[in-house]
Structure 1
């Protein structure tokens, strides 16, 4: 274990998982580990509820397609969605640096309210702290959320040949942050994919019984999330490179910069693990809604048990896809 915290401890990859296991799970005690889920599910008869929390430290605070406020509400809603829950209530706490621009704060609060009105979720409690100039880099937001879990969703064990779906094109949030942060002189109309995904639950409805797991590929991107799932399931994952949806803009920008888009965050996509034989049925249901028009079956689980992710490339080879070990872009969400 490192003697000091490094930036890589917050990127969602290998070092983040080591930090969670070696410090938090170790000292919080039994019951603190929540497997790979983004929300904790518990029963309050006769309902099952999901509860989650998250902190947002993105830089820059405003980016193409959103801002830290929109990101915080969408991120919390999406974490509840991974548990099969319809989000109900959110808390929002602010740590604000002295001297922060009041107009910017109003814009951020406005965007949070707009997502809430769009989704029917309510911000019902929160807290505000102001710290001395130089101690918060502008603004940090912490949220918690609670929702009701669908009776149709009950995760169960992954098996060989179960199918892997991504609900849309990848890496748009990470690429948008990269462009805005470093003011790269690249002409593009690309924006972050930041959006709430709570409509997945009523859309899939009874087809949720075929969904074994849901995860949103945020920090560490698609590659890191799939490694987490593979390790948890104890089966290898085989991906088909030709089926991974990615826009030409994202592909070209990242090729030019030497960055692998598989490791860049998505903030409006979901990975679905579907019972073998039901992937096409789920895809047909997803494509009834325009925001899921690019949903694809991108791979499957194999019978091998190393917990490895590899990809069949478009030129006919195989490429191992490891979890994120070295930070790509810090402060992305």
Structure 2
């Protein structure tokens, strides 16, 4: 029995049908997907949010997740950041000839389990197999569709006086991938924070708190989010360095390699800009959720030149530079 991918699995014929039936439909089964039409027809109403993303993480299996779980979480979290309830996903697999079918099955099972746990339906997909050496196991391209239930969230809406909150420790995913890739071992194992955030975000939105912007800090981490907001809204940020939650093992890895934890990706965290009068209630709600127990106020937006300043433990300020160069490719 063939236990690895062949180019024939991407030829559109019997081999393709076999892998669709025995693997993809087995774990991603949905009445709409199972029709195998050229396009999925889905019911939608109201304002719709659409996002698309590609996942090339290396290695494809890591502590806390894999590329299949990551693809669902990354897609869902982008929708959640716009106040949209995730509803549908489409996925495209670019597979390398010779990839283990057992590994592929693990990835697809993980994707299916994560999507079902959220009530997200995978309604369309595609599979391509490329010759050995022209990819790296598996790449996944996804599109997510959600219904906007909390309109008005935007990186352009951050205001002078807004309080900046993170929902948990930062840099966990980036540090985990870096440690795995470089073969670094620690007494306390680093683990990715990869997780879907809609349930936590929905709990906030139902309470009617005033949130102006949300963003999941993936590539470029917290620094990238704050710099993007500064440019979009024309504000500056002052972040209290001691208030930013960072795990000791992440901090230690960064010090060892000369990196900033603020530049490392997260895959299960959200950054929020909230009205000052809502900040205390937002923290209270977040900390009641399992994914928000380490939520913290880290800083404030203010008028001024678009920039990000870190207030150090000594009361001085330093610029937090935006991510530049090849910090850590293929992090997600």
Question: Same fold by TM-score, threshold 0.5 exceeded?
Answer: yes
TM-superposed deviation, 1:45: 9.0
What do the CA deviations read for 1:48-101 (whole angstroms, capped 9, x no partner)?
A: 111110000111111111111111010000000011011011011100011111
Matches within 5 A, 1:171-250: 171-208=171-208, 210-250=210-250
| 1:154 matched to 2:141 | no
Residue correspondences, number = 288
TM-superposed deviation, 1:202: 2.4
> Partner of 1:29 in structure 2?
none
Kept after mapping to 2: 8 A contact 1:170/1:246: yes
TM-aligned CA distance change 1:173 to 1:66, over 3 Å? same
Question: SS at the partner of 2:239?
Answer: strand
Kept after mapping to 2: 8 A contact 1:154/1:209: no
Whole-Å Cα distance in 2 between the matches of residues 88 and 45 of structure 1?
A: 9
TM-superposed deviation, 1:187: 2.8
Kept after mapping to 2: 8 A contact 1:84/1:149: yes
Give structure 2 stretches of 5+ with no counterpart.
Answer: 1-42
Question: SS at the partner of 1:199?
Answer: helix
TM-superposed deviation, 1:208: 4.8
Kept after mapping to 1: 8 A contact 2:83/2:153: no
Question: SS at the partner of 2:198?
Answer: coil
| 1:110 matched to 2:120 | no
TM-aligned CA distance change 1:289 to 1:209, over 3 Å? closer
TM-aligned CA distance change 1:139 to 1:208, over 3 Å? farther
TM-aligned CA distance change 1:235 to 1:311, over 3 Å? same
Higher-Rg structure is 2
> Partner of 2:8 in structure 1?
none
TM-aligned CA distance change 1:281 to 1:153, over 3 Å? farther
TM-superposed deviation, 1:288: 1.5
Question: SS at the partner of 1:273?
Answer: strand
Question: SS at the partner of 1:239?
Answer: strand
Give structure 1 stretches of 5+ with no counterpart.
Answer: 1-43
Whole-Å Cα distance in 2 between the matches of residues 196 and 95 of structure 1?
A: 23
Matches within 5 A, 1:233-312: 233-304=233-304, 306-312=305-311
> Partner of 2:24 in structure 1?
none
TM-superposed deviation, 1:46: 5.8
TM-aligned CA distance change 1:45 to 1:134, over 3 Å? closer
Whole-Å Cα distance in 1 between the matches of residues 207 and 248 of structure 2?
A: 32
Question: SS at the partner of 1:255?
Answer: helix
TM-aligned CA distance change 1:211 to 1:176, over 3 Å? same
Whole-Å Cα distance in 2 between the matches of residues 155 and 89 of structure 1?
A: 21
> Partner of 2:60 in structure 1?
61
Q: What's the Cα RMSD here?
A: 1.5
Question: SS at the partner of 2:255?
Answer: helix
> Partner of 2:95 in structure 1?
96
Matches within 5 A, 1:14-33: none
Whole-Å Cα distance in 2 between the matches of residues 226 and 174 of structure 1?
A: 18
